[in-house]
Structure formats: C-alpha cells, structure tokens
Amino acid sequence: MNGTHRIVLHYFFLAVMIFSSIFTLSTICTAQSLPFLPDELTQVLESGLPKTLPSPVETGHFKKLPAGDGFVWLAESTGNLGKGNKLAFSKTFDVPLKEDDVGFVAVRCRIVDADNNANDPRPGRVLIHVGDRETLRQTALYHKGTIGHEWGWYFHPFRAAKPVAADTGKIRLSFDIQPQRIEIEDVRLYVAPTGFDMSRLPMMEAGYQGREPDAPWRQDADTRIAKYRTAPLIVRVLDPHGNAIQQADVRIRMRRHAFGFGSTFQVRLVDDMSPDAIRYRQTFEELFHALVPVPALIPQHTPHAKNGNYANQLLSDLTNTLHWAHDRRLPMRGHTLVWGNLKPWSNAFVTAGEPEKILSSIQEHENYVLHKTKDFIHEWDAINHPIRFQKDLRDVFGPSIYSELLAEQRTMTSAELIVNEALFDNAREEKFFTFMKTFQEQASSKADGIGFQSHFSINNLRGMEDLWRRYERFAPLVDRLVVTEYDFVCNDDELHADYLRDVLTLSFSHPKMTAFINWGFWAGYHWKPEGTLIRKDWTERPAIKIWRDLVHKTWATNTDMQTDAKGQVKTKAFFGDYEITVSVNNASVTQMWTHSAAREPLVIEL
C-alpha cells in the first residue's frame, strides 16, 4: 500500500476471564502509524498474512487481492451466525503466555462497502481471540471491534486473562459478525517478558465529548450540585437562659458524605497485618465513604456454598469486615443476590436437566447473606445482569422469573433493591430499557433503583451528553440511580484523571443518583490492574488527586465562623455527617450532626 493512510476504528475491548461477564463496548478512535515499542517486546507471528486462503464456509469466503509488491486479503461475509464464527483465519505462535503477561496486538485493515459507497458510515466488525490452538478455551484475549473505511493501524496492549502453554498459541480473526467486506494487510502480535510494566506501552489516542474545560455541561452540573446536594446549615448558640451568644467560635467539619462515594473492599484484607493490607485499610478510610464487601456475597462464592478452610476464613473475614465498616459509620452495599446470566454452576444444572436446583441455590444464598448482613447492608444489587449475553434465567424459567425473585426478596429484607446492568453500548441499552420499563409496569414489586455498571476502557468512553441522556432516560423508571462498578482501563494518566473528574461530577449532579462506587482502587487487588487509582507499588495516579479534591474539598463543607448578633452562623453545606464544635472563652461543646435539606437549625446550649 502507498501514501499515508488513516483508519477510523470503532471497536470494543475486553480482557475476558473464564467465568466472567462479557461487555459490548463502543467508541470512535482514529488509527495511527504503528508506534515505537520497547525493545523487550518480541513479535511472535511471522510477518504478513498466511498465503493459503481458508476454505469457504456457509457465512462467506476469503479472496486474495494484489497490492503493490504483495497482497491483501478480502474477508467477504455474506451472513452471520447466532453463536460462534466460522469465517476466520488464524496464525499460530509458540512462545508461552502466563496469566497476567502483557501483550500487544496490532492489525492493519479497513472496511470496503458492498456498494462501493465510500460515504456509507456503517462500520465493519471483527472478533479477535488470542488463546490455545485447539479450542480457544484458554482465552488470553477476547477483542470485539469495529473498523473504519480508511487504511491504518489499530493497536492495543492487553494483559493475558488466561495462560497459553508453549507451542499451543493462536491468534484468530473472525469476520462473520455481520454481512460485510473487510480488507486485511497485516496482523502482528507482540509478547512482553513476565513482569513488564504495561503502562510503558502506547494506547490509541482517544478522547470524549465534553472533555473541554469550557464545555457547556460543566456549568449546568455545578448548578444542579448546588441545588440538589446542599442546603443552609444553621447553628444557634444559646446560654442556659436561652439568650443568644455573640462571637462564639463555631467549627464545622464534615466527617461523612450522605452521597455514597465508595469502593469495593477485599474482605480478606480486613485482619491481614502485612504492610500492604494495613496500608489498604488506611487508604480506604481516608478516601471512601461507602463500602461493598467482595467477593464474599456473590452466589456460589459465599461460605455456605463452599467447604474447608477457604470457606471458614471467608466467613470470618466477612463477619469482621461488616463490623469494621459499621464501626466507621460506612454505609454498605451488597453484591449480589441473584445473577441473571447463566454462570458455569447454574448452566451445569440446566445441562443436567435439574434447573429447579438453580432456584434452590439462589434461595439458599439469599437466606444466608440476608440473615448475615441484616443489620449492616442497606442496599443490594438484587438482580445482576438480567440481560443475556448468551442465556439468562428467563431462557430457563420464563419472562416472569425476575419479578418473582424480586417479590420474594421483598419479603426477606427491608434493604433497597437495585437492578444492576452494563448499559454503555446501544444494543444493550435498548434491551435493558425495554426490560426495565416492562418490569416496572408489570411486576407486583418494583425495583427501587437501577445500577449503572461502568467498566470503561480507552475504547468505549462515552461523552458527557451521552451519559446524561442515559441517566435521564432511565431515571423516570425508578426512585434512585447508582454508579455501581466504575473503573477505567487506561495507561494515559491525564485521560484517566480527566474522565474520572467528569463522570464523577456529572453523576453527582443528577438528583436521583445516590452513590458512585469504584470497583476497587489498588492494583494489588483488582480484576483490571490498569483500571485502578493506585498502582501495585502504591504509586498514586493523578486520578487520586481528582478524587481527593472533589470529594474531600470541593464537595465537603469545612469552615470556621463566629456567631452574629442573633447568636447564629449560617453556611451552605453539603449533605452528610458533621462534627460541630462551639467554643466560648474556655468552654466548648462538640456535637455530631446529620445535615439534610429537611433539618431544622442545630441549637447548642453553652
């Protein structure tokens, strides 16, 4: 190929672990020249494309087209399969991949419109697997992306989700996701040595709508925050006879936000006395005002579902975490009562012809965790992932199963019940909106809220207008919204910090939003280490400063004042728990105070 070419990629990134959920993601990235790569990386594929064309399949065929001194392949898909993909080609590699090893995949390609209309905006779609040669079940990378109309490189670093043994590796590209014609010029796969710092690898340049410092949404968000998150806080200071005391010193300090600025908490670290565990607990207390204990409340992961020392230790850790958080006045969310998508354990019951055992297992799980956490957890992800990836509980028990399960939960707990789903692709948004609208209209017991699972990568960033549209669309269906699982896989520290700043601000400004939960904060215990706020060596990324500045300064009320002629001070304060100290001469009184819009003035007698 000649000239300088560019390719617009609209692709979906995901490192899939076995037994984990698959999220469909989307954004627009502009392809670049292949960037400089560190010398430690090894290219593990032979250069160029295979010379032998794969045989035609029921969903399409390949062609070899001349291009300069070489050739390109044209993948021509005439249809798509409901499950699995057949129109594909593979290249093998022999070096091993360990779990968590770092790799780098690069593809040079473009979509060719079937009608040769270069103005057609429809993107192409491709599926990339890195795994074992025989079955691809040891999946190190699962990558689902969309492709633009101009030539260029798409590239992305990844962390191997599963190991691939020596002499068994394969990268496989599949094209029959939809009818389309895609030209491919080159495919490259690089592997880094074990322990390589993934942050050294480049990522595709990306941005998002609303990142600009003067973006109009910012002023609107600040106005809403002032309107919905603050109210006048009045302190009156009187003597024993009810007379106003002038020039009394009043010290106001926020101790806990009413809004749930929180994170998951690894229960196994609650009693661990290692330096990392001690620092983990100290950092959590400093940063967060809400907690989700993990993994101890997930179906088939709770102690009653397992045997032996692991279960005993998990039970002890869970118990101690509940008390640890309660002692610190940290509100807690539970994750989760019901997992809608079929998991390996639930699918096994279906395969064995014993689907009723799924419901028995769910009920046992609910009885256990709701009894265990009765006095601690105020809100639950009651139904997690109700919308199918491949199959969900509706495929087994019919469309009313979720309504029945939530109605039963109502009889077992007074906690708020949330339906939790990943919404940040258009197809899933439409399915979930239809589901929730019908659910709330027909269910005998309605859900209290909707949880927005918010796992972002550099390739699926949503603009602020798009996020706000989604919040507004779902808000009329429920009383409360929650950002339940925020993380952002990104090596660009500036982008990583900017996006947290903007998503956090926009979410806090919505009147029905009640919490923003980070899905972990330290890379030492995180399912996606590049998504965290703090690296494994405890190096703080710039996003931590964003969190501190907003949560603990900009949106926290801390002030010192003196009473006026009426013996009072008045300030506009964010809702939450406050420590208020009044001092006159050598006498002082300290009182805890929960500030809300409905509170009368605080009267302190001195």
Q: Are residues 278 and 141 in the same domain?
A: no
CA 269 to chain centre: 22
Within-domain flag for 546: yes
- Gap between the Cα atoms of 543 and 530, Å rounded: 12
Q: Are residues 407 and 272 in the same domain?
A: yes
Q: Is the dihedral of CA 305, 309, 312, 314 positive or negative?
A: negative
Cα–Cα nearest to 27, from 14, 11, 15: 11
Only one residue has tokens 């992932």, namely 385
Q: Are residues 155 and 66 in the same domain?
A: yes
Within-domain flag for 75: yes
Q: Are residues 131 and 280 in the same domain?
A: no
Cβ atoms of residues 87 and 59 within 8 Å: yes
Backbone angles phi, psi at 135, to 5 degrees: -130, -15
Within-domain flag for 560: no
What integer pLDDT is reported at residue 427 of this predicted model?
A: 76
One DSSP character per residue, 56-125 reads PBTTEEEEEEEETTEEEEEEEE----SSS--SEEEEEE-S-B-TT-EEEEEEEEEE--TT--TT--PPEE
Structure tokens at 118: 């270069």
- Gap between the Cα atoms of 87 and 101, Å rounded: 29
Only one residue has tokens 């109700």, namely 386
User: 3-state class of 523 per DSSP?
Assistant: helix
- Gap between the Cα atoms of 306 and 304, Å rounded: 6
Question: What does each C-alpha distance from 46 to 89, 94, 188 come to in angstroms?
Answer: 14, 11, 8
Identify the domain containing residue 57 by its residue range: 8-200
What integer pLDDT is reported at residue 436 of this predicted model?
A: 96
Q: Are residues 277 and 391 in the same domain?
A: yes
Q: Are residues 245 and 349 in the same domain?
A: yes
Within-domain flag for 587: no
Within-domain flag for 604: no
Structure tokens at 584: 């006159």
What integer pLDDT is reported at residue 125 of this predicted model?
A: 81
What integer pLDDT is reported at residue 215 of this predicted model?
A: 95
Cβ atoms of residues 29 and 206 within 8 Å: yes
Q: Are residues 143 and 239 in the same domain?
A: no
Other CB atoms within 10 Å distance of the CB of residue 469: 13
- Gap between the Cα atoms of 156 and 104, Å rounded: 6
Number of domains in the chain: 2
Cα–Cα nearest to 517, from 460, 454, 464: 454
Q: What is the CATH number of the domain that holds 59?
A: 2.60.120.260
Q: Are residues 192 and 278 in the same domain?
A: no
What integer pLDDT is reported at residue 451 of this predicted model?
A: 97
Cα–Cα nearest to 580, from 570, 592, 567, 568: 592
Residue 336 preceded by cis peptide, ω within 30? yes
Residues 6+ apart with CB under 8 A from 435: 386, 387
Give average pLDDT by consecutive 10-residue segment, the chain, 606 residues.
Answer: 36 29 38 85 90 90 90 88 77 92 92 58 80 86 77 85 92 90 94 88 82 96 98 95 95 97 97 97 98 92 69 88 96 96 89 94 93 95 88 93 96 97 82 95 92 86 93 97 94 92 98 98 88 92 97 97 96 97 94 93 91
Q: Are residues 249 and 191 in the same domain?
A: no
One DSSP character per residue, 295-333 reads STTSTTTSGGGS-SHHHHHHHHHHHHHHHHHHHTT--EE
Which of 200, 220, 240 is the endpoint of a domain? 200
Within-domain flag for 268: yes
Strand partners, 65: 72
Q: What is the CATH number of the domain that holds 402?
A: 3.20.20.80
What integer pLDDT is reported at residue 121 of this predicted model?
A: 56
Which of 182, 200, 218 is the endpoint of a domain? 200
User: 3-state class of 368 per DSSP?
Assistant: helix
Q: Are residues 180 and 250 in the same domain?
A: no
One DSSP character per residue, 244-295 reads B-TT-EEEEEEEEESSEEEEEEEGGGSS--SHHHHHHHHHHHHH-SEEEEES
* Prediction pTM value: 0.79
Which of 161, 177, 200 is the endpoint of a domain? 200
Only one residue has tokens 């064995």, namely 352
- Gap between the Cα atoms of 162 and 92, Å rounded: 17
What integer pLDDT is reported at residue 572 of this predicted model?
A: 96
Within-domain flag for 205: no
Rounded to 10°, the helix 356-372/401-410 angle is 30
- Gap between the Cα atoms of 506 and 221, Å rounded: 6
Region of 290 please: left (phi>0), alpha (psi -120 to 50) or beta. beta
Q: Are residues 363 and 502 in the same domain?
A: yes
What integer pLDDT is reported at residue 402 of this predicted model?
A: 96
Within-domain flag for 584: no
- Gap between the Cα atoms of 75 and 405, Å rounded: 46
Only one residue has tokens 């954004």, namely 27
Q: Are residues 248 and 189 in the same domain?
A: no
